[in-house]
Amino acid sequence: MHRLILASASPRRRELLKQAGFKFEVQPAHINEDLHADEDPIGYVVRLAREKAEAVYAQMRDPEAVVLGADTTVTLDGHILAKPQDAADAARMLRLLSGRTHRVITGVGITSRLGVEVAAEVTGVQFLTLGDEEIAAYVATDEPMDKAGAYGIQGYAAKWIPRIEGCYFNVVGLPLATVSTMLEPHRLRKNQ
């Protein structure tokens, strides 16, 4: 049976993989995550997911290892809203998202002795119109600071999201159905 390695430090990705019944180890990848010139949001997250999986796989001494890399971003009008740099940046992003529908894109990369496989999942997320006081109170919780687009759907911001179109788990950070399908051929150890 193959070992699954998650090439991510994200606690949300760990929780989701565990919820789906996978047995895995965590070994975060350390790669340059700068956006390349003329790179679109889907190309960007797919490249990062692939590079994370490849970087960790290259460090492994186990040919039976299967490495899962992922990267999630928020886009609005074709612009990437990454993790905020500070509280002011978080507030700016939330004002941009207010009253609009944006896209959350997660790139997934799997590297094993079988090669490399990549995919992307896109989910539309609608936000209610937010007031400045609501935004300031949310930013003060620090919840937005480590999240693309400055919010977490599974947290306090959930009350501002009346609907999504697509995979909920994608918005949290890992599209479980896509990942499960991609991992199926690898005969992984399960928790069950």
Kind and range of the H or E run holding 58: helix 41-59
Active site residue 34: no
| Cα 130 from Cα 24, distance rounded (Å) | 39
Burial class (CB in 10 A: 0-12, 13-18, 19+), 45: buried
List phi, psi (to 5°) of 47: -60, -45
The strand pairing partners of 72, in sequence order, are: 106
Of the residues 38, 40, 62, 71, only one is catalytic, namely 71
Q: Which residues contact 182 (CB under 8 A, 6 or more apart)?
A: 108, 110, 117, 119
List phi, psi (to 5°) of 102: -120, 175
Residues annotated as part of the active site: 71
